[in-house]
A and B are shown apart, each in its own frame.
Chain A
Amino acid sequence: MTAPRTYQTEAIIIKRIKLGEADRILTLYTPELGKLKAVAKGTRRPRSKLGGHVELLTHSRLMLARGRNLDIITQAQTIDNFLPIKDDLERVSRGLYISELVDSFTGEHIEDRQLFHLLLETLKQLSLSKDCESAMRYFELHLLDHLGYRPQLQHCTNCNSPLKPDSNFFSSRLGGVLCHDCGFNEPMARPISLNALKVLRLWQNCDFTAARRIRINQDLAVELEQVIREYIKYLLEKQLKSTAWLDRLKHEVPQK
């Protein structure tokens, strides 16, 4: 039996590049088909009927027609446009970072419903509140967890002894925490504070709402961001491009 010529799916648009005169190639993240590239014809024209329904960081219901090479989007209807994210420079930048993260860590056509729902939930959380750092860390941690890179935070990754409430280390190479003695002998390990360790452990095992209730001061937020970012950089063997912009936004751009 041949596959039907058209099919429908939900999707979150995570990337788009220009194609030819008025078309775009979109990278979609879908519940059933995982990551997927598709052509959206004419979307750069003002009167395109797809237009805003296939904009970045939009959750849409799509109808696609099988193409020779890439499938073609024939109909689109927005489910959630996450407008509060798009109206806020800080949040839109974080949304783009999340998209880049998902794009970098996933292959095409691999079904992953859980990851889809994590991505969707994170965008929902981002559009709910301006305070988004916790949501970002929660997303990163659970993305890693889900992909099989869950950092080991209970025991020393080297000697397996339980961690003392002491000065411990985090090693991106070993994917977890090292006790004081082992950390000293691992050149690439960085010190991790007890509070950071506690928060990370808690985040690993709670849901989004609980994660956002934890109060985190500025220094701790910076430390958590650094630890996870370094680990992600080690796993991907590259720095994500959007991190440069996130840093700049935080330090240089005048706040509203």
Chain B
Amino acid sequence: MSADSISTAEPIARLIEEFNKLPGIGPKSAQRLTYHLLRAPASEVSALADAIKNLKEKLTLCSVCLNITDSDPCATCHDEERDHTKICIVEEPIDILPLERTKKYKGLYHVLHGVIAPADGIGPDELKIKELLSRLNDGLVTEVILATNPNLEGEATAMYLQRLIAPLGIKITRLARGLPYGADLEYADDVTLSRALEGRQEM
């Protein structure tokens, strides 16, 4: 018998191992979480277990915008109040949250699930670009807003999409790039400042 099997029962060891796989959880944290659950009331533990189980079982990708959803099409795509002529293209599902928080955008979204990253072997086929193009083909959409991140890969992906979409005659816009609110000019890099100057607006 190995030392491990003497010290911990199999279910405990297994849970520790599973926690340990999560980002930011080391072996010690995994142990602490496991023993915490061991002492917690059974109802709490099964609530957690259900929540984890439902995560994969009840969630799918929306067949329209490919955001993560529990109903298909998702609530946003289904909403008649929203502007169905605008599509905002984002890299990841998580990028929709900050855009929604602004309460300034009432259109629809499209999630690419990544960006073009040649050195990681991620090209257009690994992204949800085909789905985007078939959405644009129905003639309903009049504006596409490119909201990929303002970094090298995000810009490259935006340039690529611009070329694909331009022949369709749809208006293409890009989120403005410039200085973040609350920042210091002193620390701004030249690219950001050049963009901020290019995009300056009359007051």
Contact = CB atoms under 8 A, between A and B. Distances in A.
Interface of A: 15, 20, 46-47, 49, 51-53, 55-57, 78, 81, 83, 86-89, 92-93, 96-97, 99-100, 103, 241-242, 244-246, 248, 253-256
B contact residues, range: 20 to 34
Interface string B148-180: 000111011001100110110000000000001
B34 to A, nearest CB: 23
B164 A254 contact: yes
B139 interface: no
Interface in B53-99: none
A85 B70 CA distance: 42
Given A47-B180, A47-B183, A96 B189 contact: no
A253 B189 contact: no
A76 to B, nearest CB: 8
Interface stretch (B12-20, B41-49, B101-109, B115-123): B115-123
B114 to A, nearest CB: 12
A51 B192 contact: yes
Contacts of A87: 155
A93 B192 CA distance: 21
Contacts of A56: 151-153
Contacts of B123: 244-245, 248
A81 B191 contact: yes
Nearest first, the 6 A-B pairs at minimum CB distance are A52-B189, A242-B118, A49-B187, A245-B118, A46-B180, A241-B121
A242 B160 contact: no
B92 to A, nearest CB: 12
A241 B190 CA distance: 30
Contacts of A256: 163
Contacts of B24: 20
B11 interface: no
Contact of A81 (B118, B160, B190): B190
Interface in B182-203: 182-184, 187-192, 194
Contact of A89 (B163, B183, B190, B192): B163
Given A52-B191, A55-B151, A78-B190, A100 B119 contact: yes
A169 B164 CA distance: 40
Contacts of B191: 52, 55, 78, 81, 83, 86
Given A52-B190, A248-B123, A241 B118 contact: yes
Contacts of B119: 15, 96-97, 99-100, 103, 241-242
